[in-house]
Structure 1
Amino acid sequence: MSGHHDVHTGLHSERGALAGEHPGRARNPVVKVLDLAWLEFQKPDLERAETFAHAFGFTTAARTADELQLRGTDPGAPCVLIRRGAGSRFIGPAFRTADHADLLRLAEATGIGPTPLPAAVGGATVDLTDPSGLRVRVVADPHELPALPAQQPHIFNVGHEVVRANAMQRPPREPARVQRLGHVVVQTTKYRETLDWYLQNLGMIVSDFLFYPRQRQRGPAMSFIRCDRGSTPADHHTLALTLGPSNRYVHSAYQVADLDALAAGGEYLLDHGYRRSWGIGRHIQGSQIFDYWRDPDGFMVEHFSDGDMFDCTLEPGWAPMSASGLAQWGPPATKDFLGIAPGRESLHELRAIVDALREDNEFDLRRLRGLLKVASS
């Protein structure tokens, strides 16, 4: 293995880019966002949404007849904003800039002026639309909520090192208290164009690329993208993009204290009749311990802990995509997680495949064959 590739060994992928492949970052981005601020959804039943949210581990930050704001224990803006509407849909993400000057710079580059956010949230936003049609808010100076009491991580006796003596481990069977919003995953029919849009406009950088089996020469089909905070480490991915037959939300992820909080919180969710999608396991890209759930409106949400943190020096890893390659340990990826379980969602995706193959986008017949290989691997 050449010196160019040694940087990846033991970190996230043993292989880096080949000559001429995507560099995973823009040379001169407009701004560099710091993090996700929140995600926005529309749902018809706010009472049902709030009941699940509390079981999942959120705290209600604010509630009106038409809007629900959910937060974690970390200080900052609410993690999730839900508006009452006729149907269920993902409205889009909001990313946070370092300061208002970045917002003005983005406004000048895009020709879209900043507008005030509602008083309940505070600050200002530049509302953009990415190439897949998703509304993307870039916000500055929202209200900062104070920290809440956090769920304390457990103390472990590791190997022969005794740090816990005359004390027992008794994690309570209670909701895993959400600390913060970690990332969102979206699917797009215009993967390469959408990827470049985020790198150029928001200054994000790729941590890992995945490509379909035997299709590396066609370029990646998924990317895990982090915020560029310079020498300060950031989450392995704040946004993940994957090529597919429709433009849609895939899942969002929320950090909890540790494995015990995640596992005991999962037992609480099961006790209250909620449905696990996949877990518990540990991912490869990002290394997070994970547990996936479906909320009552069908949205997939993830508890995670112990994720990788990268600074700006690490170059993208490259690896083939496979269902078995999604986790280091844990049960096999479920049909529900992969979106192929019989039901409304898989039927919608099947119709989307037919439509996508008729349109001019990146999801063509060969890409479909690659996706089917991934799902069956």
Structure 2
Amino acid sequence: MTDRHTDPHKDLHSEHGALRGEHPGRAADPVIKVVDLAWLEFAKPDLDRAEAFARDFGFAVVERTPDVLRLRGALPGTACLVIRKGTGNGFVGPAFQAADAADLTRLARALDAEVADLEGGGRHVTAYTPSGLRVQVVHGAPHHPGLELQRPLAYNTGGLLTRINETQRPARAPALVERLGHVVLSSTVFRRDLDWFLDHLGLIVSDFLYLDGQRGRGPTMAFIRCDRGSEPADHHTLAMHLGPVTGYVHSAYQVADLDALAAGGEYLKDRGYVRSWGIGRHIQGSQIFDYWRDPDRLLLEHFTDGDRFDSALEPGWAAMSASGLAQWGPPATADFLGNRPSPALLRDAVAALRADNEIDLPRLLALAKAMGS
């Protein structure tokens, strides 16, 4: 494996955790190894409003009925969002792609679950993490051919001239979503959920974050990628952190380049949508990001230029802090961090302290300090 002691930016990482007896970031013998996210599923009360935002955000519509809205990106693949009509507004769960049909049988046997038919074609296994998060693993779902992509702009940089006698005039238009990149989840039993994903789905950790002064208690956030061997994978397909509630935090969708992201943001602003945080560049994963709230207050990210790692790279370690989320850009907002004081936040914190989980008062105070730093 590659140790990031050789990384020119090694000041962003402490020594490799396994050398100190910390979490190794991968399972020795996982049940299967998923290859990507397939889609995310949500329930929303107003599909007309959901479709309007989806088109403005840059999705293409695969299917629309009175009861379901299926959305896709422009690259070949499955639908990347499934939104069903429901009485509430919430996250149902992620679906991951299995490498082959035999993996579904292997996973079902390990979980004492069933392999069942998917709506529209293909097969799936449904499981639940220790915190109760619903997870599907699928194979053979309908695969859609690619659509016309938004062409990245040609840049003149230094002495390299790629554009002569031509201007740059990117239109204020929806940033064309190319694909689903990752989902971020919160868990009150972070360590148990983390180990479940590594043990059962073969995911591996790219970066760990820990609470300042509490490193001995282990990580409290992980950026987790698919293990494709020598084939590079996104720095994180799943990110997860310890929190007073379990559930969805945000999801991220790749666009062509910075201009597509920025012009798409201007379009969203002109349409009256609310930017949560951006534009900036992350540290873990390196993506250029721009976060937006949909009409139901769910958080979605446009991103471009993310890191790709193969299976050789070992986890990095860093202290968890709001200022450590970006290399450049505006400070992380209270809206993005979810630390805006409210009765609901207080209720969640009190409930978490009373429940059987990994939250206690020192950790809760350290989390609050980290997200305010």
TM-score if structure 2 supplies the norm length? 0.97
1:247 Cα shift? 0.5
Structure 2: gaps (5+ residues): none
Corresponding position: 1:373 with 2:373: no
> Contact 2:4–2:316 at 8 Å: present in 1 too?
no
Q: How does 1:202-351 map to 2 (within 5 A)?
A: 202-342=201-341, 346-351=342-347
1:251 Cα shift? 0.2
C-alpha distance in structure 2 between counterparts of 1:11 and 1:369, whole Å: 29
* Aligned match of 1:37: 38
Q: Letter of the 1:60 partner, please give it.
A: V
C-alpha distance in structure 2 between counterparts of 1:286 and 1:163, whole Å: 28
Q: Letter of the 2:180 partner, please give it.
A: L
* 2:277 match: secondary structure: strand
> Contact 1:8–1:317 at 8 Å: present in 2 too?
no
1:341 Cα shift? 2.6
> Contact 2:4–2:10 at 8 Å: present in 1 too?
no
Deviations 1:87-143 (A, max 9, x none): 101000000011101111111111111000112xx2111000011111100001111
1:9 Cα shift? 4.1
Deviations 1:304-324 (A, max 9, x none): 000000000000000001101
Deviations 1:116-175 (A, max 9, x none): 0112xx211100001111110000111111101010101101112111111111111000
* Aligned match of 2:358: 362
> Contact 2:154–2:162 at 8 Å: present in 1 too?
yes
C-alpha distance in structure 1 between counterparts of 2:278 and 2:113, whole Å: 42
Residues 149 and 4 of structure 1: is their aligned pair in 2 closer, same or farther, counting only changes over 3 Å?
closer
1:13 Cα shift? 3.8
> Contact 1:12–1:317 at 8 Å: present in 2 too?
no
* 2:20 match: secondary structure: coil
CA RMSD of aligned residues (A): 1.3
* Aligned match of 2:118: 117
> Contact 2:32–2:103 at 8 Å: present in 1 too?
yes
Q: Letter of the 2:263 partner, please give it.
A: A
TM-score if structure 1 supplies the norm length? 0.96
Deviations 1:182-217 (A, max 9, x none): 000000000100000000000000000000111111
C-alpha distance in structure 2 between counterparts of 1:8 and 1:314, whole Å: 11
Deviations 1:224-251 (A, max 9, x none): 0000000000000000010011102100
Q: How does 1:89-128 map to 2 (within 5 A)?
A: 89-119=90-120, 122-128=121-127
Structure 1: gaps (5+ residues): none
* Aligned match of 2:154: 155
Residues 249 and 80 of structure 1: is their aligned pair in 2 closer, same or farther, counting only changes over 3 Å?
same
1:348 Cα shift? 2.4
Corresponding position: 1:172 with 2:175: no
> Contact 1:8–1:14 at 8 Å: present in 2 too?
no
> Contact 2:3–2:313 at 8 Å: present in 1 too?
no
1:38 Cα shift? 0.1
Q: Count how many residue pairs are aligned between Structure 1 and Structure 2.
A: 370
C-alpha distance in structure 1 between counterparts of 2:263 and 2:155, whole Å: 16
> Contact 1:96–1:139 at 8 Å: present in 2 too?
yes
* Aligned match of 1:72: 73
Corresponding position: 1:131 with 2:130: yes
C-alpha distance in structure 2 between counterparts of 1:376 and 1:237, whole Å: 24
C-alpha distance in structure 1 between counterparts of 2:230 and 2:97, whole Å: 18
